[in-house]
Amino acid sequence: MPELTFYESIQKFQKSLNVKMKIDELSVNTIDSYNRTYKYFILFCKQYDKKLSFQNIKEDDIYAFIEYKSANMNKQGNLSNSSVNSIVSHLKKLFKHIERNSDESYDFDKVFEDIKVKQSVRIPKGIDDKAFSKIVKYLEELKLNETFINFRNITLFKFLLYGGLRASEAISITLSSVELDISGGLYKIVFKGKGDKNRTTYIKEDLLYDELDTLRNVFKIDTHKPIALTTSGKAMDRVQLSKMVNSAYCRAGVKATGVHILRHTAAKRLLADGVSIVVVQSILGHGSIQTTSIYANPTESIIKKELTK
């Protein structure tokens, strides 16, 4: 049997790493992100002017791959520091997996130990108060035309805007996963979050009552099927949700794009309203409070409000 080339060996270990990541319950999106890096790394290896092997791979080869990825994926300039860090992290995971599972004895720590990219301070953007008011007004106006699509869209938008849900989470919610706590005036929403972990969030009753009541009693939707259904009865995907959200921005007269900005908005507004960062961490489903803390940079108006109490 002929000996595998370097990139064929990479492909072999990538497959076994995929099995491990699924068993470890990494999310589909996370696994896809790793595999995109490995796909380009294999393409790079096939055309690289150096014949790579596990014995001769060096730090310079990793930098050459980063340059290759930048040239092929980012026509507007160099990759961001965050993207470079992701690439390095993905490769480190693969090569650590190779170390543990190869019949040969390898040590790739020296290849990666000095590859350090300064991480930019990430200040997530949210929708400002003026744009927020426009969106709320637009959602209320949608109710005047009582159709399933309108009430579905309003509900999904509010899951994102008030509950801080991710796109994949919002499109998974069923009516049976939403429970009203009458004493607290809150809807408790239980669902599978990132990494297929059970997660719970809460939204005030008055923000969702009309929508959920109409979906349940007027349109009589199946309580065990996702609310995010198309008119043909198929489940919406993330692309369809993104198109719906972007269309709502446009109709509301708001200059914004994408679903995730609504999650940022939810986090910022909760903190601005005085909700504990620990509670916001739980609502967003962050594993570390450090992740939540990026939303905690106070604006000038918040500082003035707090100091004049």
* Number of domains comprising the chain: 2
Residues 148 and 192 in one domain: yes
Is the model's pTM score more than 0.75? no
SS3 category, 177: helix
238 in a domain, yes or no? yes
Instruction: Tell me which residues of the chain have a pLDDT lower than 70.
Output: 1-2, 73-78, 118-123, 195-196, 297-309
Residues 90 and 53 in one domain: yes
Predicted local distance difference test score (pLDDT) of residue 71: 82
**Of 70, 90, 243, whose CA–CA distance to 156 is shortest?**
243
For residue 30, what are the domain limits? 6-112
CATH of the domain at 100: 1.10.150
Residues 218 and 159 in one domain: yes
How do the residues of the chain divide into helix, strand and coil, expressed in percent and rounded to 5? 60, 5, 35
Predicted local distance difference test score (pLDDT) of residue 307: 62
Residues 38 and 175 in one domain: no
Residue pair 119/85 in contact (Cβ under 8 Å)? The answer is yes
Residue pair 236/230 in contact (Cβ under 8 Å)? The answer is yes
Please identify which residue in the block is written with the tokens 């796109």.
Answer: 167
Domain boundary among 72, 87, 112: 112
Predicted local distance difference test score (pLDDT) of residue 301: 56
Residues 145 and 63 in one domain: no
Exposure on the CB side of residue 207, measured as CA atoms within 13 A? 17
SS3 category, 266: helix
Please identify which residue in the block is written with the tokens 């939540």.
Answer: 292
Cβ atoms within 10 A of the Cβ of 246, count?
14
122 in a domain, yes or no? no
Structure token digits, residue 45 = 């290896």
Residues 71 and 181 in one domain: no
124 in a domain, yes or no? no
Residues 172 and 303 in one domain: yes
DSSP codes joined into one string, 34-86: HHHHHHHHHHHHHH-SS---TTT--HHHHHHHHHHHHHHH-TTSSPPHHHHHH
CATH of the domain at 175: 1.10.443.10
Residues 133 and 73 in one domain: no
117 in a domain, yes or no? no
Predicted local distance difference test score (pLDDT) of residue 96: 95
Structure token digits, residue 148 = 């399933």
Predicted local distance difference test score (pLDDT) of residue 125: 79
Residues 167 and 290 in one domain: yes
Cβ atoms within 10 A of the Cβ of 263, count?
23
Bridge partners, residue 187, by sequence: 180, 203
Tally: H helices and E strands in the chain = 14, 3
151 in a domain, yes or no? yes
Q: pLDDT tens for residues 151-199?
A: 999 999 999 999 999 999 999 999 999 998 878 899 999 887 776 678 8
Predicted local distance difference test score (pLDDT) of residue 306: 59
123 in a domain, yes or no? no
CA distance 183 to 287: 29
Residues 253 and 104 in one domain: no
Residue-wise over 138-168: b if at least 16 C-beta within 10 A, else e? bbeebeeeeebebbbbbbbbbbbbbbbbbbb
Residues 272 and 221 in one domain: yes
89 in a domain, yes or no? yes
Residues 196 and 282 in one domain: yes
Residue pair 186/179 in contact (Cβ under 8 Å)? The answer is no
Residue pair 149/230 in contact (Cβ under 8 Å)? The answer is no
121 in a domain, yes or no? no
